[in-house]
Structure 1
Amino acid sequence: MAIDTSTPVLVLGGKENALSLVRNLGRHGIPVSVSGPSECWGMSSRYCRKAFRVPRDSSGADYWHELLLGPDSASLHGHILIPCCDYSIDFIAHHTEELAGNYLLDDAGPDLRLDMLDKQRTLVLAAQAGTAAPKFWNIEADTDLEGIRNQVEFPVMVKPLNTVNFYRIFGRKLFIIEKRFDEVVEKVRLAQQNDQPVMVVEMIPGPDSLLSSYYTYIDKNGKSLFHYTKRIVRRHPVNRGSACCHVTEWLPDTAAAGRKFFEGIGFTGLGNIEFKHDLRDGKLKIIEVNARFTAAQELLVRSGAPIDLIIYCHLTGQKPPQFSSYTQALIFWYPLRDFLAFLELWRRNELTAMEWLRSWFPHHVISPLHKITDPMPSITAAGGVLEKLLRRLRA
């Protein structure tokens, strides 16, 4: 099927997801530009038509406002804007009306998109949609903490409402407290001292392999353009870090739970929802929602689910390609981080070396970064690691 590739795309932010978008859309002849910080790999790809680097001393929002809404923005008018990070989601959501006059935006409702950035609001919406969720407690004052002292069952998480800002300050996505309520108080107060609102959330027991996720895109008429699921094999750090080993697998229960949530809240646009299977009651419980392409985007494309191309065709008024199935048991793998996850699990006597090897070998393994035909992102990433190392040594 011939595709009209004349409408250009501008990707805002992201890392693995932005690189995958640039490579796949660019491979089809679509003009793709990227704007992000220096660690945005897509800007180094051979398929990137133009790179707009966000300066270190500038926030993404300020830079994108000048780039897209400033007096010199006319050359970018007509681009499809694709947010690939939480900062760009926030920027587009707050400037939807201004941007819509000169750019193509997807079907996402700005209010619900912002709701998905607020982890507590997401859980509130899940309850309204009849989607199972972990127990959580809203914390605004010390009296709220004392009120839940006898309700909390350990382990629990002190979880930020906004993960991005929290990670920037603490270098982690959340705090896990195994036993003592005094430590819950300590971590909540530490977050509040840094102006980071948090909630206390029940931790669903069990390994990270109980995590699975569902992807879809819902247009303004409520029609889903595709359905896709995968699951996580491991994360690092275990039980709280980012996934380091994913595997493609069609999971009907995960898809049904995801559809129920998105339809229940009236969601439109691109959505990814992650669940964890709670072995205590057999329910899939919501963990988080991303209203954007995720880090595992290359896994979807390589397994036969080109959701980026489907969305591009939809937004440009063309008949989108379709897929009714996709390759199963493909592995999306971060070798170093997964080795560290193995060591952590091995020390706990939860994983042997042979079990670790069998989990990814001899499966077909996909890298989030490396590609022989497009080596510059790998070189740029290596340079970024070296630069961070030198900064630490100088400090």
Structure 2
Amino acid sequence: MKNKAVILGSNYYIGLSTIRCLGIHNIYTVAVDYSDQDRYGSDSKYCSERLISPHYRNEKEAFIEFLKDYARKEIVPPVLIPCHDSYVEVIDEYLDELREFYLIPQTEQGLYTKAMNKETLERMAKEQGVLVPETIRVNEDNFFEKVDSIIKYPCIVKPTDSPSFVAKFRKKIFKVHNRAELEDALEKAQNAGLEVIVQRIIPGFDDHMYTFDAYLNQDAKVTHWTTCQKFRQYPINFGASVYTGQRHVPELYEIGAPFLEAIGYKGFGEIEFKKDAETGEYYLIEINVRITNLNNLLYKVGMNIPYITYRELTGEPLAPKAITENTNRVFWYAYEDLLAIKGYIQTGQLSLGEVMKSFFKPKAYAIWSLDDPKPFFSYCKMMVGKIFKR
């Protein structure tokens, strides 16, 4: 009997692409969400079962019991795939407990959380000789003097715990241009009970952002990998990928693979780098420790991450593979890209001509699929509803 795949979070296109990547191989997919609202990913024809669970944060223990109760009824353990950072955090917290019932790539409890936390990630990177942007902690002596002399303005105020910060402020960072703005940003974070750090901005436009996307097996060795280059993100300059292309950059493998292997990482991980426009050096910005926005792009260029994960955990690993040619294919999340384009043009960072020229590339769409159109129409209905509600 085949193992099922339990997918946490179908209310975003990451969950949708994960369901599709497994469903095309006739794997039984179970979409788990805490609400019936806006879960357009579960409308995929490849979704076999839809469940509503207790809230992963508000009812954490009930959520874990829900997952265990579901797995207890199965003859063979399901594969568990979280598709949002908040799900990863709770799975990591209860990892040893859940591994008795589910197949999960990571075996070291707490490692995913350490990799997500900006402060512990910085320490791990430095231990392995990987460059990270200069950082000052709020409780350091002579804090403002160090910001003036080492970080300089403009700089960014960045959370150590991204999911909580994004949930509160609907943005990934605060960009500040002077001491008054810095003090205001620190006060907002303090009032929200969130820990932040202050970091130097690595020079370079958004197309200096790159990713190293890799799967590491149960021996913590890279078996599958490729690299990508961002072209546009939203919010602009410090946001998520909305128009990103696969591009072979071997230097990223030389930095990223040894680092992930050294820290004992297992499963899929995506390291975001920024290339310094002045020095050409690559700085590690963050690690995504779950399926990411680019999942459909990776699938389209020949690297089906959810299926790679499933096959290894169920004892039938796929042969190692690296995408080392330039495919010219891009990931496109049209709705947020249009918002980003507006921002880039308004700030003079891109011209309309540059934007139009970029569109003539084969696409990996975030939501649309001719083979599986229903989620797209559900998404459109959801967006129209939100517009009218405003």
TM-score, with length taken from structure 1: 0.90
- Which AA in structure 2 matches 1:204? I
- Which AA in structure 2 matches 1:27? I
Aligned to 2:181: 183
**Greater alpha carbon shift after TM alignment, 239-248 vs 332-341:** 332-341
Alpha-carbon distance between aligned partners in 2 of 1:103 and 1:306, rounded to the nearest angstrom: 21
Alpha-carbon distance between aligned partners in 1 of 2:341 and 2:98, rounded to the nearest angstrom: 46
Q: Is the 8 A contact 1:270 1:292 kept in 2?
A: yes
**Number of aligned positions between the proteins:** 384
Alpha-carbon distance between aligned partners in 1 of 2:18 and 2:59, rounded to the nearest angstrom: 19
Q: Is the 8 A contact 1:370 1:378 kept in 2?
A: yes
In structure 1, stretches of 5+ residues that fail to align are none
Aligned to 1:241: 239
Give 1:343 deviation, angstroms: 2.6
Alpha-carbon distance between aligned partners in 1 of 2:108 and 2:268, rounded to the nearest angstrom: 10
Decide whether aligned partners of structure 1 residues 20 and 240 sit closer, same or farther in structure 2, where only a CA change above 3 A counts.
same
Superposed CA deviations along residues 166-219 of structure 1, whole A, max 9, x for unmatched, are 1111111111012x1121111011111111111111111211000111111222
1:36 aligned to which of 20, 33, 37: 33
SS in 2 for 1:282: coil
Q: Is the 8 A contact 2:54 2:66 kept in 1?
A: no
Q: Is the 8 A contact 2:71 2:102 kept in 1?
A: no
Alpha-carbon distance between aligned partners in 2 of 1:218 and 1:189, rounded to the nearest angstrom: 40
Decide whether aligned partners of structure 1 residues 331 and 149 sit closer, same or farther in structure 2, where only a CA change above 3 A counts.
closer
Aligned to 1:212: 210
TM-score, with length taken from structure 2: 0.91
Give 1:96 deviation, angstroms: 1.5
Q: Is the 8 A contact 1:217 1:226 kept in 2?
A: yes
Q: Is the 8 A contact 1:131 1:260 kept in 2?
A: no
Alpha-carbon distance between aligned partners in 2 of 1:347 and 1:207, rounded to the nearest angstrom: 15
Q: Is the 8 A contact 2:22 2:29 kept in 1?
A: yes
Alpha-carbon distance between aligned partners in 2 of 1:135 and 1:40, rounded to the nearest angstrom: 40
Give 1:301 deviation, angstroms: 0.4
Alpha-carbon distance between aligned partners in 2 of 1:318 and 1:55, rounded to the nearest angstrom: 33
- Cα RMSD after superposing both structures: 2.3
- Which AA in structure 2 matches 1:126? A
- Which AA in structure 2 matches 1:332? F
Superposed CA deviations along residues 48-76 of structure 1, whole A, max 9, x for unmatched, are 11111346797473553131135x65225
The equivalences for 1:1-395 within 5 A come to: 6-13=2-9, 15-37=12-34, 38-54=37-53, 59=58, 61-62=60-61, 64-70=63-69, 74-76=72-74, 78-140=77-139, 145-151=143-149, 152-178=151-177, 180-325=178-323, 328-361=327-360, 363-392=361-390
- Which AA in structure 2 matches 1:74? R
SS in 2 for 1:172: coil
Decide whether aligned partners of structure 1 residues 385 and 258 sit closer, same or farther in structure 2, where only a CA change above 3 A counts.
same
Alpha-carbon distance between aligned partners in 2 of 1:354 and 1:144, rounded to the nearest angstrom: 47
- Which AA in structure 2 matches 1:116? A
Q: Is the 8 A contact 1:54 1:60 kept in 2?
A: no
Superposed CA deviations along residues 148-168 of structure 1, whole A, max 9, x for unmatched, are 343331111011111111111
Q: Is the 8 A contact 2:216 2:223 kept in 1?
A: yes
Give 1:108 deviation, angstroms: 4.7
Alpha-carbon distance between aligned partners in 2 of 1:306 and 1:41, rounded to the nearest angstrom: 21
Decide whether aligned partners of structure 1 residues 146 and 322 sit closer, same or farther in structure 2, where only a CA change above 3 A counts.
closer
Give 1:279 deviation, angstroms: 2.1
Decide whether aligned partners of structure 1 residues 120 and 233 sit closer, same or farther in structure 2, where only a CA change above 3 A counts.
same
SS in 2 for 1:184: helix
Give 1:131 deviation, angstroms: 0.3
Decide whether aligned partners of structure 1 residues 60 and 46 sit closer, same or farther in structure 2, where only a CA change above 3 A counts.
farther
